[in-house]
Amino acid sequence: MADPFLTVNDLTAYYGDFQALFGITLHVDAGEVVAVIGANGAGKSTLMRSITGLLSNGPDMVCWKGRNIGHLRADQIAQLGIAMVPEGRQLFPSLSVEENLIIGGQAGRKGPWNLEEIFKLFPILEERRKVPSTALSGGQQQMVAIGRALMSNPDILLFDEISLGLAPIIVKSIYEILPSIIGGGTSAIIVEQDIAKALSVSDRIYCLQEGRIALEGPAATVTREAISAAYFGI
Amino acid sequence: MDWINSIVQGVLLGGLYALFAAGLSLIFGVMRLVNIAHGDFIVLAAYLGLTVATTVGLHPLVALVIVVPVMGLIGYVLQRGVLNHTLGDDILPPLLVTFGLSVILQNGLLEIYSADPQKMNAGALETASMNLGGNLNIGWLPLLMFAVSVATIAGLQWLFYRSALGRAFRATSDNQDIAQLMGLNKAHVFGLAMALSLAVVGIAGLFLGIRTSFDPSAGPGRLIFGFEAVIIGGLGNLWGTLAGGIILGISQNIGAQLNPGWQLLAGHLAFLLVLAFRPRGLFPRIDG
Amino acid sequence: MSAATYTISRSTPVSRAAAVAGLILCLFLAAAPWWAGRADLRLMSEIFLYLSLASLWNLLAGYAGLVSVGQQAFVGFGGYMLFAFTMFLGVSPLLAIPIAGVLGAVVALPVAILIFRLRGAYFAIGTWVIAEVFRLVFAQVSDLGGGSGTSLPIDVVKSIAASRSARESTSYWLALGIAVLVIAVAFLFLRSRQGLALTAIRDNELAAKSLGIDIWKTKLVVYIVTAALTAATGALIFLQKLRISPDAAFSVNDWTAFVIFIVVIGGIGTLEGPIIGTIIFFALRETLADLGTIYLLVLGLVAIVVMLRAPKGLWGMLRAKVGIEFFPLARRVVKPSETQDGRHGK
């Protein structure tokens, strides 16, 4: 078994008095792609926010390469090689396409990805590099969001609702490109509502239901029935 | 000829008002914070300049090299130590804390320097002027200050839109959470924004102290001029702020020309007219 | 446990006891001219006038979210209206006070239409500009003494009451009266539908918006009512001082800074806060006033520390600890068996 990159131990999360996560435990190994699926409000985005440090959490709840990172700020966690492609892209509207990408490399981590490589991956972005990010189509914005996360040369990439709000043809092309991004030792967590899509690129899956893990297992062996049971809580 | 003279002087005065405004505008743009004590920091910078000039014996304009970094440092410490703790969805805490700071600064300066008006002496430069025909004279000092003001605005504009720091400012302003995910520490970014704001205040305060006499209670008035220049010019546009400052300066000088008691009133009137008919300012930023 | 057995109640034993105690206190204070000395009477008048200003600012900033640093505009305006109406039109001072209030509301409307275009903190500075405009305009009126100000003519003063002690009693009762009036208005307003909407907006603007609460109109009403009562309070302040000048009438320190500190220290967004804050403010002033500027420094520092460490003020801290409320604003669901115990339920 490979070393666990990321481990989440008995994670709880609250918004004020409202408890969103009830003791989530999961792990992602080096080079592994893990899908997190679940209905709206199951706690998927909360899980992402907790891992990236946008939501504070208790001691030893989140560990990265054997080190407790639960007490760190989001910007410190980002420096350690954890990058996220946030739900709804969330590009910086005041920044051009190129600036959005450059700021992704703010942390200054060394690795294969730089502006040139991103433009090779998404040639359209090079043509539109000076354009304000708000002028792009949804699909192009998603490319910038992916490129921005890659610019930090992360060891793990978190994709939050990668296909939400995008046309099927664009979703398809993004999933075609994913293996080339996350190959070569980079791990990934893919948060997705489209179960079939998620299964097609993942090694293992976790299914969240009302803030708890209802099902986990290798992507190849879990059955559709088991997933729907966990997904809908029936 | 008097009229042309007052308009020209108004333009030059407007440069100073734009400097008052630039720092205010900058921190509002980055973190939606309005520093009620902004004017009092301008006066603090003037007193710092005075102290440096008299104790070290530097020319007031040379005192800039000390005053500007000191003000920047004060800004950074203030932001990290106090103001960052007030930022959030509620506008009340930053407003009231900076209001409290304003009272503290005014009374602190009063305690140290007394209520007597002070002025910095720029030597021979103060009286040097060039004649532009007729009785239209432009002093070298006001002209120099105007040039520095315009250069400062241009520098800020460059920094905001062309530099890595400006990129970080804009990104943090757009979306604090996502900026954090890019490895930007927002507490530090905000500290730098306030440092820059007060560094500009350092220049503004020194110029104020050379141009006119000042006392510990002069701050609120400078805050209001800066604020009016921002609103007249339109939020989020530094060149607009310069134009706003100039319009304010001209209005005040025209008012003073009509009746000495109307100087400030005319400036406020210009502001209220803009607010009534062009509430987004004369040169609003075109988004997107 | 059927739903029908529950009732909604606002009052609690504490609030009912407070109401009785408040009534007794008011009667006791109203009798002050018979038991207090002249200097005490003056001090208490000043306390009531500050209490009135503080409660009004609290309504504006703490409930309506309209953080104004320019309420001195209306204090000064009210003061000048008192002088103008009594000096030039021969109106009795007692009548000039409500007139000042009504005119305060009249000028507040165009002012509001202008400055409501500014948001948040820029609104605050906008109110300050308005106050400056008022100051500069009144400084231009030479009949009212221009920049150096004027005193209330002796025959106007005498028209209040013939004897000095009767005048002092009258102005004391007026000060007490306006404080009680302001607190009553604030209390009744916050219990009304509109007041409830306002509290909803303050607690969650987004949720309130989605419920279709018309924020703008409610805020406008609060602004105008506050302006009217602030102007009436201003008229009373300068009736006590008998002298007015632009700098005194439109002083940001006296009529806004102190008022803000009172509300912040006492507890913003509660009706009790301004009362507690006023008591603390005057206790501090009476003990530290000799320190001059140091006193103001300390006051500013205390306000900042309170804002950072206890943003709900002293009353907020106290309420969080013991859960009492003198002014019953919160609604509670009460089981019939528990009607005598207001601490249960929410």
Query: Structural domain boundaries of chain B?
Result: 2-123+139-277
What does the pLDDT read at residue C344?
A: 40
Which chain B residue's Cα is nearest to C131? B268
CA of B74, closest CA in chain A: separation in Å?
Answer: 25
For A84, which of B167, B168, B181 is closest by C-beta distance?
Answer: B181
Q: DSSP string covering B247-268, please? A: HHHHHHHHHHHH-GGGHHHHHH
- The domain ranges of chain A are 4-81+155-232, 91-154
Which chain B residue's Cα is nearest to C309? B85
Q: CB of A64 within 8 A of CB of A13?
A: no
Q: Across all residues in chain A, what is the average pLDDT?
A: 90
What does the pLDDT read at residue C2?
A: 45
Residues of C in contact with B264 (CB under 8 A): 132, 136
What does the pLDDT read at residue C342?
A: 39
Residue A60 has pLDDT above 90, yes or no: no
3-state SS assignment for residue B107: helix
d(CA B241, CA B234): 7
Amino acid B233 reads G
Q: pTM score > 0.80 for this model?
A: yes
Name the band, by pLDDT with cuts 50, 70 and 90, for residue C345.
very low
CA of A93, closest CA in chain B: separation in Å?
Answer: 7
Q: At what angle do helices C272-288 and C258-266 cross, to 10 degrees?
A: 120
Q: Which CATH architecture has domain A4-81+155-232?
A: 3-Layer(aba) Sandwich (3.40)
CA of B130, closest CA in chain C: separation in Å?
Answer: 35
ipTM of the complex: 0.92
DSSP at C289: G
Q: Does A163 touch chain B (CB under 8 A)?
A: no
Q: B193-212, pLDDT tens digit by residue?
A: 999 999 999 999 999 999 99
List chains adjacent to chain B, taking adjacency as at least 3 C-beta pairs closer than 8 Å: A, C
Residues of A in contact with B186 (CB under 8 A): 75
Residue A141 has pLDDT above 50, yes or no: yes
- The domain ranges of chain C are 42-250, 251-324
Longest dimension (CA), chain C: 74
Is B111–C136 a contact, with Cβ atoms under 8 angstroms apart?
no
Q: What is the CA radius of gyration of chain A?
A: 17
What does the pLDDT read at residue C89?
A: 93
Q: What sign has the CA pseudo-torsion A174, A179, A182, A188?
A: positive
Which chain B residue's Cα is nearest to A134? B288
Q: C16-56, pLDDT tens digit by residue?
A: 888 888 889 988 898 888 998 888 999 999 999 999 999 99
Residue A79 has pLDDT above 90, yes or no: yes
Which chain C residue's Cα is nearest to B262? C136
What does the pLDDT read at residue B258?
A: 92
3-state SS assignment for residue B220: helix
CA of B9, closest CA in chain C: separation in Å?
Answer: 23
Residue C338 has pLDDT above 50, yes or no: no
Q: A161-220, pLDDT tens digit by residue?
A: 988 888 899 899 889 888 888 877 789 999 988 888 888 889 999 999 999 999 999 988
CA distances from A95 to A90, A99, B162, B250 (A): 12, 6, 11, 35
Is B170–A132 a contact, with Cβ atoms under 8 angstroms apart?
no
Is A79–B183 a contact, with Cβ atoms under 8 angstroms apart?
yes
Q: Residues near B280 by Cβ (< 8 Å), separated by ≥ 6?
A: B234, B235
Which chain B residue's Cα is nearest to A98? B167
Name the band, by pLDDT with cuts 50, 70 and 90, for residue C5.
low
Please state which of the ranges A79-88, B24-33, B230-239, C213-222 shows the lowest mean pLDDT. Answer: C213-222
- The residues with which C333 forms a beta bridge, in sequence order, are C8
Is B182–A93 a contact, with Cβ atoms under 8 angstroms apart?
no
What does the pLDDT read at residue B154?
A: 95
CA of A59, closest CA in chain B: separation in Å?
Answer: 20
Q: C278-299, pLDDT tens digit by residue?
A: 999 999 888 887 887 888 888 8
Is B180–A107 a contact, with Cβ atoms under 8 angstroms apart?
no
Of the candidates A173, A191, A169, which has an alpha carbon nearest to the alpha carbon of residue A181?
Answer: A173
Is B168–A106 a contact, with Cβ atoms under 8 angstroms apart?
yes
CATH number, domain B2-123+139-277: 1.10.3470
Written as six digits, the tokens of B150 are: 């315009």
**How many CB atoms are closer than 10 A to CB C338?**
16
**How many CB atoms are closer than 10 A to CB C195?**
20
Over range C181-188, report the average pLDDT: 94
Residue entry with tokens 């930022």? B87
